[in-house]
Amino acid sequence: MSSETDRSTGSTRALGDTWRSVDDGLRTVGSRINPVFQPLADGYNRLFGAYFGEMNGLQFLLIFGSLLGLLTAPFWGTFSLVQTMTIACIWAVFAMSWDIQSGYTGYISFGHSVLSGAAAYATAMLVYNVDPEMSMAVTIPLSILAALVVGLLIALPTLRLSGPYFSLITFVAVLIFYRLIRPFSEYTGGETGIQGVEVFTYDPLVRYYYMLIPMLVVAVALTFVARSNIGLVLMAIRENESAVNAAGLDATKFKLWSFVLSSIPMGIGGVLLVHYYGSVDPTTFVVVDNSIEMIAMAVLGGMSSILGPLGGAFLFVVLEDFLLEGLPASARWTILWVIILLVLVFARDGLFRKLWHKLDSYGHRGENR
Amino acid sequence: MKNAGNKTVKRRTFLGAAGAGTVTTALAGCLGGISGEDDDIFRIGHLAPTRSQMGLGAERSIEIAVDEVNDDGGILDQEVELLSENTEGQVDEGTAVVESLIQEDNVDLLVGTFVSEVTQGIMDFVADRNVPFIITGSADPDSITEFHGRDYEEYKNVFRTGPINSDLQAEAMGQYAEFLSDEHGWEDFAILADDAAWTGPFIERLPDEIEDLGFNVVHADTMGIETDDFTQYLDDVDSADADAVFRFIAHADSAAFVSTWQSNEYPFAVEGINVPGMSPAFWDATEGACLYETTSQSGAGGVTELTDRTMPFVEEYEDRYADEDPPSKPMYMGFNSYDAVHFYREAVESAGTADYENELDGIVDAMLSTEHTGATGEMVLYDEDSEYPNDVQETRDEDDYISNFPMTQWQEGGEVECVFPEADATADHVAPEWL
């Protein structure tokens, strides 16, 4: 036994040494790259740092390199990759929206798909039941409003609840919504859903930007809010709700705000999704699995960070629809959930948040700031 | 122009210009690269949930058809290539693979789709792109009436060569009820159906069909597609004193349905359509509990010679896949996918073109005037002015019974027999012994 223990301790130590040397190597490379981009980062920090947080050169490279990559994807990506990224944009909106409510306040919602579903169903039902020629200028705002109303309907009874009871209510809300679709099939299209919703465009290149631009706007807006005092209060609710109340702030009011902040972009995402597929059905739009996937994306990227869930959504969707595409659905999902489990165990703050902090420490090492 | 002339271009300026030029060229190239190039290969995109036995049977069947066409010179002298994609029976997956097949692979023909919801989900995109699309799995009449019926010009590139739509299937079931009454004296029938698009007509039309013939519909209900405990549904049929239940199952757990029925010896026969029950492996999967249950299916399970193409196709299928995973027969979608390729080839060869971008009208005219002998029977499509434009017509025998949606029954020893219509029957219909 002792020799086995020695061996395992030895191998753990060797692994640790290897990681330390890799880390040191990356640190050295990072400290050399950082000064190159630091002037750009400084310019950004002067203009926007107060609103969106400051960055070092490496972090600037990550954010603006990614942004450049996203903006130019149709020019370097294959058709399948761009198609996957188009869907990822919509899921990123969902994951960020979930995060501003659940990630920041710590009140975990299992029912967010009901909000996007409400917006998508509102669009489809307006077209199907009211006027097939109804303009998007009318259906889009009404659908986002529908998401907001449903969000408040869920929020109001949950405001005095905490811990698992809040999560259970949101979970039940999505189940009720899902079950109501069949009895009202005359209006909702039942199991088959509603077809014939106008799509934005079938041109894959143009469609990509139709999804990307709202996603970027949502990302900027939510980052701004999250970095503001509202974001600070929401995080304080997660840390210690009693202390927030004791400080004279009404935590209930802020929790309500978090639902409003979350419902509006969820509505935008729902509208994007229904105009992407041109149809709505309960399996694609409402099932509770969708809510769980939003949580998984946020966990993967890093909860309570807005850009973490964005990155998590892209990683999740690209893994599922592109990198693991050839595998049977069951194998794909097993691999994805194992990855989520590993992230929860070994990088609880999420992969992108971990990366962000690493870049922060590598950049500081350069001492060029 | 100030710097023009013989001044040397600075190194940095040159590198910048060269870099920008390279990037621009690369981007421009990629812009075109988002959709693939066309060439001299005729590509068929096949869509089915290929992890299911139904989808796998369809995929194998269309492979056979493509090989036969290639052995016979291809389509309009072009070699045929098959691209088979798994829709997983989901609208989102179906949409993604169809876009990829059309935009990236430039397919010349789409064949398939099993789940009606998936078919309808891709319809607008396919119509927008004008790629000929032949439905071979979904039976929902709305896939025709709600699309071609609304705007024929928009959806004229979509056809269905089989199965007959479920409005017509409902009529065929009424005729089958009459047959059962003649055989066994049954007069009281119940109806249970999946809550899905394709079963709508069995709830809405079949009761009238049965009652117009002078029989009774004593019970009708829909079952959620996730149902796995059918006791309550079967108890209800029992309470209504039905002689037989027509059940229509494609999604729900039909093995559980039939096992519950047989183990409790419910006093009524099980008739109708059971998609999983069309698999030859269903006998073993239910340990024989499916004995006496029937299902209607294109191709009659491959047990009777519907035309002179039926058995050669079935034998080829059996030879190729004898040692492979189930199904060991093509199943109904396999028959329809096989026929669709031969039908389309006959049509475009008579039209002299498969260029749907420039000569779609010629292709549509040829499709509507083609009379093809397939493995499932004689095939003709309804024209633009009919109730079901571009949909396959039903064929009728001398007694006016619909003959291209035959009934099969599981009989002693796990044998599948065709029991209706009588012209194609290989055995008599057998009532459960406990009745």
> pLDDT for A13-28, tens place per residue?
777 778 778 888 888 8
Element (H, E) at A357: helix A351-365
Which residue in A80, A83, A202 is closest to B128 by CB distance?
A: A202
- Any CB–CB contact under 8 A between B25 and chain A? no
Residue A185's closest chain B neighbor by CA?
B195
Residue B143's closest chain A neighbor by CA?
A195
- Any CB–CB contact under 8 A between A183 and chain B? no
| CB count in 10 Å sphere of residue B430 | 18
Is 80 exceeded by the pLDDT of residue B12?
no
Alpha carbon of A41: minimum distance to chain B alpha carbons (Å)? 23
- pLDDT (0 to 100) of residue B161: 97
- Any CB–CB contact under 8 A between B90 and chain A? yes
State mean pLDDT over A279-289.
90
Interchain CB distance below 8 Å, A192 and B124: no
- Any CB–CB contact under 8 A between B100 and chain A? yes
State mean pLDDT over A188-210.
89
Query: What is the Cα–Cα distance from A214 to A269, expressed in whole angstroms?
Result: 9
Residue whose tokens read 């050669």 = B312
* Least confident residue range of A173-177, A341-345, B35-39: B35-39
- Residue pair A87/A95 in contact (Cβ under 8 Å)? The answer is no
- pLDDT (0 to 100) of residue A33: 87
Interchain CB distance below 8 Å, A192 and B120: yes
- Any CB–CB contact under 8 A between B88 and chain A? yes
**Could you give the C-alpha distances from B234 to B240, B246, B282, in angstroms and in order?**
10, 11, 20
pTM: 0.83
**H helices present in B100-230, as ranges:** 116-129, 142-145, 152-155, 166-184, 200-204, 206-212
- Any CB–CB contact under 8 A between B117 and chain A? yes
- Give the tens place of pLDDT for each residue, A240-281: 988 998 999 988 889 888 999 999 999 999 999 999 999 998
Alpha carbon of A338: minimum distance to chain B alpha carbons (Å)? 22
- Any CB–CB contact under 8 A between B129 and chain A? yes
Is 60 exceeded by the pLDDT of residue B216?
yes
Is 80 exceeded by the pLDDT of residue B204?
yes
- Give the tens place of pLDDT for each residue, A73-83: 999 999 989 99
Residue whose tokens read 């030859």 = B280
- Any CB–CB contact under 8 A between A193 and chain B? yes
Which residue in B51, B128, B196 is closest to A328 by CB distance?
A: B51
- pLDDT (0 to 100) of residue B203: 92
Is 60 exceeded by the pLDDT of residue A300?
yes
Which residue in B35, B90, B195 is closest to A182 by CB distance?
A: B195
- pLDDT (0 to 100) of residue A196: 82
Query: What is the Cα–Cα distance from B302 to B332, expressed in whole angstroms?
Result: 9
State mean pLDDT over A290-312.
94
Between residues B92 and B427, which one has the greater pLDDT? B427
- pLDDT (0 to 100) of residue B16: 47
Interchain CB distance below 8 Å, B30 and A191: no
Which residue in B90, B103, B120 is closest to A204 by CB distance?
A: B103
ipTM: 0.75
- pLDDT (0 to 100) of residue B17: 46
Cα–Cα–Cα angle for B338, B144, B159, rounded to 5 degrees: 30
- pLDDT (0 to 100) of residue B67: 98
What is the rounded average pLDDT for all residues in chain A?
Answer: 89
**Residue/partner pairs of A47-52 with CB below 8 Å, 24 or more apart:** A51/A224, A51/A227, A52/A220, A52/A223, A52/A224, A52/A227
Question: How would residue A212 be classed by pLDDT, with cut points 50, 70 and 90?
Answer: very high
B-proximal residues of A, 210-249, CB under 8 Å: none
With a pLDDT cut of 70, the percent of chain A lying above it is 95
- Any CB–CB contact under 8 A between B318 and chain A? no
Question: How would residue A327 be classed by pLDDT, with cut points 50, 70 and 90?
Answer: confident
Is 90 exceeded by the pLDDT of residue A190?
no
- Give the tens place of pLDDT for each residue, A86-105: 999 999 999 999 999 999 99
Residue B24's closest chain A neighbor by CA?
A75
Between residues B125 and B34, which one has the greater pLDDT? B125
Is 70 exceeded by the pLDDT of residue A175?
yes
Question: How would residue A51 be classed by pLDDT, with cut points 50, 70 and 90?
Answer: confident
User: Which one, of A30, A115, A131, lies nearest residue A291 by Cα?
Assistant: A115
State mean pLDDT over A140-163.
88
Question: How would residue B24 be classed by pLDDT, with cut points 50, 70 and 90?
Answer: very low
A-proximal residues of B, 137-196, CB under 8 Å: 146, 195-196
- Any CB–CB contact under 8 A between B97 and chain A? no
Which residue in B30, B96, B123 is closest to A83 by CB distance?
A: B96
Residue B128's closest chain A neighbor by CA?
A202
Alpha carbon of B200: minimum distance to chain A alpha carbons (Å)? 11
Alpha carbon of A29: minimum distance to chain B alpha carbons (Å)? 25
- Any CB–CB contact under 8 A between A195 and chain B? yes
Question: How would residue B86 be classed by pLDDT, with cut points 50, 70 and 90?
Answer: very high
Query: What is the Cα–Cα distance from B227 to B271, expressed in whole angstroms?
Result: 19
| CB count in 10 Å sphere of residue B232 | 10
Interchain CB distance below 8 Å, A74 and B95: no
Is 50 exceeded by the pLDDT of residue B71?
yes
Which residues, 6 or more positions from A339, have their beta carbon under 8 angstroms from its beta carbon? A300, A319
Tally A–B CB contacts below 8 A. Answer: 82
Residue A284's closest chain B neighbor by CA?
B92
Query: What is the Cα–Cα distance from B149 to B143, expressed in whole angstroms?
Result: 9
Alpha carbon of A78: minimum distance to chain B alpha carbons (Å)? 6
SS3 B306: coil
